[in-house]
Amino acid sequence: MIKRILTLMGLIVGLMASSSYAQTINAKGTSSAPVSVAGTATTVLDYKSGRKGWCLEPETVAIRCMPSDSSAAPAVTPTSSVGFLFPAGTLVCHNNMPDSALITNPQRIRLDCILATGAVATNVDTWEE
């Protein structure tokens, strides 16, 4: 019985390894550096129909972001008081975004962001799969 369980576990691990997805760090940054977000709306994530998931983390200052379910800019531009709040130093992933008429596939969205407070830009780290 134990031999069967170990064999099954080996098959599962093998299947998981063969079905991996490409991972990208800071795709919008220059040479994989974080994206700088300041007082003007900046695209942090491009829309990608094949993306399986994403996470982002503003490094030093909170940001507000608005999603778009296409490659076009969001219908509502983020401002310091409009948009989803992403706290500084907090990792947020696609599964934290609501699935609604605005965002039918939260893992695939385009995300435009702006500083929530202050005037000093913050770096935003992103991860995509």
Averaged over 3-16, what is the pLDDT?
41
Q: Answer yes or no: is pLDDT of 21 > 90.
A: no
- Of 77, 73, 80, residue with least CA distance to 115: 80
108 versus 13: the higher-pLDDT residue is 108
Q: What is the pLDDT of residues 25-77, one digit of tens each?
A: 999 999 999 999 999 999 999 999 888 889 999 999 999 999 888 899 999 99
Q: Let me know if residue 107 belongs to a domain.
A: yes
Q: Let me know if residue 86 belongs to a domain.
A: yes
Q: Let me know if residue 6 belongs to a domain.
A: no
CATH number at residue 119: 2.60.120
Q: Let me know if residue 60 belongs to a domain.
A: yes
Q: How far apart are CA 44 and CA 78, in angstroms?
A: 12
Q: Let me know if residue 80 belongs to a domain.
A: yes
Q: How far apart are CA 76 and CA 97, in angstroms?
A: 16
Q: Let me know if residue 65 belongs to a domain.
A: yes
Q: Let me know if residue 30 belongs to a domain.
A: yes
Q: Let me know if residue 2 belongs to a domain.
A: no
Backbone angles phi, psi at 7, to 5 degrees: -65, -45
Split into its structural domains, the chain has a count of 1
**Residues whose CB is less than 8 angstroms from the CB of residue 62 and which lie 6 or more positions away in sequence, other chains included:** 85, 86, 87, 88, 115, 116, 117
Q: What is the pLDDT of residues 66-102, one digit of tens each?
A: 988 889 999 999 999 999 999 999 999 888 776 665 5
The domain containing residue 96 runs over which residues?
Answer: 23-128
Q: Is the pTM of this model over 0.85?
A: no
